[in-house]
Structure 1
């Protein structure tokens, strides 16, 4: 006990100095964290003010936060006497080792950068990528957040998105509805075609230009199949799709035109 007290007395100035430096370092960390969050928020607001895609703003804001916070940590370490030059060299070597161990995460980061540069989609677009589909909510450093029509949130690694085909359903202003309607072989094809056209003509959301297509597609096993292809504005796609399917069925029923189900004729021969 006496030895400890003696050591404390002999090194009180050093302990006091180190304690002050440690407190200052903690204050730097605390203030730096606040500044990093503030820079993150200001970056997002700056992008929103310039009406730049908010997904891009969120991605850049994440990078800004990471850079400011890393600088804060280096300042705090320098305050407590850690040689930052050597520390940076050590970090570089450690970073190489960690990079090899975290190739997947680096791939996600690189893919995130490519998404921002190539802009295959923006926030609010409905896309299909990596076997998943949903509306883009935000793009982060390592992942992209999608929201499905039934309000599920999907967090997808950026590498999974960029490693395959990306289908963007929202980029173009118009979309084509593709329907295949089958009628019985005993139906009058001219009448059936006229019924289908009358349904399309009554639907106000269908565009006049480009014009819709109604034509015989194939003579199938159990039915004569018509292809029905009207164009609509992209936001009207699903509401119009559902209405057309219902109205076509009603119109064909009223015209006594059957929509046959798959069937097979079996002939038995007696020897």
Structure 2
């Protein structure tokens, strides 16, 4: 009985010594891990701020894109710090990195459509085929750009409706930007019957265009004979206007032409805007 008690006492003392050794060993690891977490957290925040400020100084670099890349830098640093902390406790970091890679691949496959929108959003923000406030048209959507995000682009249609377009639908498709260039050209055609003076009609067309202050004088309005038949000739008026005044100007000039030809045997046709 005494021998059994002695064995238990010896085993308890050995266990206590081993526990004390482990506590001493892991106490340093715990302190080191805490310090590493604190330093890593501060470093991640500083690197995020510095990268955002640096990218923001680049002329034309979009703020949304700068926030995305700076946030990515922060999370990459935090992941590396976490792996280093686990290494403090003897965990095999190689297996952790392999698991993270496999998890990232699985998430990428599951979010394939979302990642396509993110990639398209980055390309749209970098190449800038359109900006906020510009009126665009594609085979899928038409409207004024309200906001360009990493996942989708918000637009407002001409009749005041809200439209959300995934970025993947705006990338790799032809885009017509009606607001990118400061000026646009417009054409109106007039059919003049046989016997009418083409010279007088041309002068009238030019006077009507020049009388509207929104019609640009450089390049100057021009007229030319487009087609000729046995019974009539078609005259075309070509003029330029600023993009922001384009639709108002074309409607006003068309109305003026209609009023001027109300008492004449002439037909007015509007050509597609170019």
CA contact (8 A) 1:195 1:252 kept: no
Compute the displacement of 1:199 (Å). Answer: 0.7
Compute the displacement of 1:178 (Å). Answer: 2.4
CA–CA distance in structure 1, aligned partners of residues 60 and 259 of structure 2: 44
Instruction: Tell me if 1:259 matches 2:267.
Output: yes
Compute the displacement of 1:146 (Å). Answer: 1.6
Compute the displacement of 1:233 (Å). Answer: 1.6
Q: How does 1:29-40 map to 2 (within 5 A)?
A: none
CA contact (8 A) 1:173 1:234 kept: yes
2:252 aligned counterpart, secondary structure: helix
CA contact (8 A) 2:83 2:93 kept: yes
Paired position in structure 1 for 2:23: none
Higher-Rg member (1/2)? 2
Alignment length, in residue pairs? 229
CA–CA distance in structure 2, aligned partners of residues 85 and 170 of structure 1: 53
Specify whether residues 155 and 66 from structure 1 end up closer, same or farther in structure 2 by C-alpha distance, changes over 3 A only.
farther
Q: In the TM superposition, what whole-angstrom CA distance separates every residue of 1:218-238 from its partner, at most 9, and x where no partner exists? A: 247996432221111221111
Paired position in structure 2 for 1:94: 103
CA RMSD in angstroms comes to: 4.2
Specify whether residues 148 and 107 from structure 1 end up closer, same or farther in structure 2 by C-alpha distance, changes over 3 A only.
same
CA–CA distance in structure 2, aligned partners of residues 51 and 182 of structure 1: 54
TM-score in terms of structure 1 length? 0.64
1:172 aligned counterpart, secondary structure: coil
State which of 44, 61, 66 in structure 2 corresponds to 1:60: 66
CA contact (8 A) 2:223 2:238 kept: yes
Instruction: Tell me if 1:188 matches 2:194.
Output: no
CA contact (8 A) 1:222 1:260 kept: no
Compute the displacement of 1:96 (Å). Answer: 1.3
TM-score in terms of structure 2 length? 0.64
Paired position in structure 2 for 1:239: 248
Specify whether residues 260 and 140 from structure 1 end up closer, same or farther in structure 2 by C-alpha distance, changes over 3 A only.
closer
CA–CA distance in structure 1, aligned partners of residues 231 and 147 of structure 2: 48
Paired position in structure 1 for 2:144: 135
Instruction: Tell me if 1:115 matches 2:124.
Output: yes
Unaligned runs of 5+ in 2: 1-44, 270-274
Q: In the TM superposition, what whole-angstrom CA distance separates every residue of 1:118-168 from its partner, at most 9, and x where no partner exists? A: 222222222223432222222111222222222222222222212111222
Compute the displacement of 1:71 (Å). Answer: 7.4
CA contact (8 A) 2:83 2:96 kept: no
State which of 211, 214, 222 in structure 2 corresponds to 1:202: 211
Compute the displacement of 1:77 (Å). Answer: 11
CA contact (8 A) 1:192 1:252 kept: no
